Amino acid sequence: MAIEIHQFVCLDDNYGVLIHDSRTGETVSIDSPDAEIIEAELQARSWRLTHIWTTHHHADHTGGHLELKARHHCLIIGPRAEAAKIPGLDQAVGEGDSFQFGGGEVRVLDTPGHTLGHIAYWLPHAEVAFVGDTLFALGCGRVFEGTHDMMWGSLAKLAALPPPTRVYCGHEYTQSNARFARTIEPDNTDLRDRIAEIDALRSLGKPTIPTTIARELATNPFVRAGLPAVKAALGLSGADDWQVFSEIRSRKDRA
């Protein structure tokens, strides 16, 4: 595989991600939390930024767009539904669109809820997805602009990706998410084992991301909301899947 993925901490708890194609020399930044840190990581690897793939309009994901574009003349791709809010946008994309990178196809998925125009980027050939603030390790983004029904649909779409798919998200929230997940499924042994692993990683200052779709299906209460056991545990056996998700999301918001 010619693609190299490099992840690093930006701001307080954001992650920056660079993707480099050694065959073409192209380098992508997933969003731009901090232009100076991204520039330092590029310089350390002698990579030149050619693209920014934007997931959504929030400032901690677009704050470095214009500075990086001025330095590198990179192409900024972003969500069509938020085109007016994405600084320096060159190419607007949405569900069903695709383009080439790293010897394969990049597929765009609409994942609204956190924001109305949020998108994710899925590279089937590399078995990796960049999901911004829709899906987190053991969690999901707050529903700021959309509805709970809408967010559930976005999570279900991501959960349907192939289980080995590696998932890169925008923030290191996993330890907090884990504490909450345990309140929903205290008897989930996969979750219990994962929490021990997460605590060990964080004690060493190491990231808990990327995760995989398989791990989230086994342990993330937000994507498990449709399971009969989860519904029963919440006293919602007769509810629609999205209503169970809504209850879980509401509990997390109050936690």
> How do beta strands 104-110 and 119-123 pair?
antiparallel
Catalytic residue among 20, 51, 61, 65: 61
* 187 labelled catalytic: no
* 61 labelled catalytic: yes
* 20 labelled catalytic: no
* 56 labelled catalytic: yes
* Residue 80 CA neighbour count, 13 Å, CB half: 9
Alpha-carbon radius of gyration of the chain: 18
Catalytic residue among 60, 110, 118, 241: 60
* 133 labelled catalytic: yes
- Which residue type, as a one-letter code, is found at position 179? R
Catalytic residue among 51, 56, 57, 65: 56
Catalytic residue among 51, 57, 118, 171: 171
* 118 labelled catalytic: no
Total count of residues recorded for the chain: 255
* 58 labelled catalytic: yes
Catalytic residue among 20, 51, 58, 65: 58
- Which residue type, as a one-letter code, is found at position 60? D
What positions carry a catalytic annotation? Answer: 56, 58, 60-61, 114, 133, 171
